[in-house]
Amino acid sequence: MIRTRTDRAAATAGAQSALDPVRTLFSVRFRHDYYNATDDRCRDLVAVPTDDCAALMAQIGIFQVHQDAGFSIVIPQSRVGALVNAIVQGYCASGPGQGFWTRLRFLLVSTNENFVGITDWPIDTSPTRQALFTDNLAVHAQPDGLSLGDHGLGAAALLPVTGGTISLPAGPVGTVTALDLSGAPVASVQRSATVPVILSLAGLPNDRYTIIGTPPEAYTGPAQLAYVPPASLATGMIDLLLTQPTADTGDPAAFPVPMPPAPPPPDYAQHPVPITPVALIAQFRARKTFWRYFVVPHAARGAFTDTLAITGQDVAFGKSKTVLPNGDAAILFSAETPLAMRQRSPHRFRLSGERHSPDGGQADISVDPLPCAATSPVWPVTEQPLAGTSEIYVYI
């Protein structure tokens, strides 16, 4: 089990909880419908606070507790005033960026090398090129919590990855500006028509940034970028805002601390503030793949007759002859529709037919059930980037 300094601090807090009750701010559960054998619990991701987040948590007295397929953020009751004070101090009185935007930022690191393969993301997704970004500004209600993103964290939640510098070649003259999550400008550079320039994010927190040009033609690259530590190889990032930023932003149920008055009174942090635990769900969907069965006859047992067939529910299979790279002849059965990958597959297919026996007769063939698709390898399908191909070899 991964154990961080926030876990150790949480253990200390737990020992003192009789005198200073610990309140839960957030619980985040990772779910993936590939894992149908474990009620969709996904243990493939670990949340690690960014450096600035770890510093803020230490300052306030917030602790992270790693749990089975998720994590929680907790705070001793005695530190709630410090939490509210941090929210109030982060208030911006005027736009752009007006509101309460104090938040916790976590990198999501995958512990499963096949995570992309089983997830409905483009098959070539790589942490050096793309990263998931999500936050609690956009949620929708589920029976047991609030689901992050637009009904699942699919390909639309992936952003191009950037390091601390964004190189801009010589091009249209204008100003290129980086905006933070609140919409406030945090970095800018004048673009030149004759020499390359660099927009620097150095010193800024790891987060999602929106890049704009003034005039618009001064910047035509990706509108949003995920700024993650280059060496982290993070699969994604999650921002947890502690309170509703403005009255018309987000769902009040997604934030553990009620939004203070705007502007907040000087002594607001000294008054009792209720804490409402927020249960969040990071839901991932399984990749669908086209199953391809390569049925290879044992040379000494005779060739197949034309009766060879695969039967089962959910999908029909096309049939053709092919030759494997090693020269073996095979019958290829190709699923006509993709099937969702599952830890415990509900699909059951049967191979049946006949083969020519060496003695001149015919022998029955039956394989029931056929093996199901494995998690790896998954091969790309050019025309369907979110799908893939699963190859299954059957030697009989």
- Cβ(353)–Cβ(255) below 8 Å: no
Q: Tell how many helices (H) and how many strands (E) occur in the chain.
A: 4, 27
The first and second tokens of residue 72, run together, are 């929680």
| 15-26: pLDDT as tens digits | 556 688 999 999
Q: What is the 3-state secondary structure (H, E, C) of 252-294?
A: HHHCCECCCCCCCCCCHHHCCCCCCCEEEEEEECECEEEEEEE
The first and second tokens of residue 85, run together, are 């004070």
CA gap 4, 57 in Å, rounded: 13
| 223-240: pLDDT as tens digits | 999 999 988 899 999 999
The first and second tokens of residue 278, run together, are 């927020």
Ramachandran angles phi, psi of 93, nearest 5°:
-80, -20
| 126-150: pLDDT as tens digits | 999 999 999 999 999 999 999 999 7
The residue whose two tokens read 């919409």 is: 183
Which residues, at least 6 apart from 172, have a Cβ–Cβ distance to it below 8 Å? 191, 193, 213, 215, 217, 218
- Cβ(123)–Cβ(249) below 8 Å: no
Q: Is 360 left (phi over 0), alpha (psi -120 to 50) or beta?
A: left
Do β-strands 278-284 and 22-32 pair in parallel, antiparallel, or remain unpaired? parallel
Ramachandran angles phi, psi of 274, nearest 5°:
-70, 145
- Calculate Rg over the CA atoms of the chain: 27
| 274-307: pLDDT as tens digits | 999 999 999 999 999 999 999 999 876 778 999 9
DSSP single-letter state for residue 149: T
What pLDDT tens digit does each residue of the chain (396 aa) get? 344 555 555 555 555 566 889 999 999 999 999 999 999 999 999 999 999 999 999 999 999 999 999 999 999 999 999 999 999 999 999 999 999 999 999 999 999 999 999 999 999 999 999 999 999 999 999 999 999 997 789 999 999 999 999 999 999 999 999 999 999 999 999 999 999 999 999 999 999 999 999 999 999 999 999 999 988 899 999 999 999 999 999 999 999 999 999 999 999 989 899 999 999 999 999 999 999 999 999 876 778 999 999 999 889 999 999 999 999 999 999 999 999 999 999 999 999 999 988 777 788 999 999 999 999 999 999 888 889 999 999 999
Q: What's at 54, amino acid-wise?
A: A
CA gap 224, 15 in Å, rounded: 43
- Cβ(34)–Cβ(342) below 8 Å: yes
The 10 Å CB-count burial string (b at 16+, else e) for 86-100 is: bbbebbbeeeebbbb
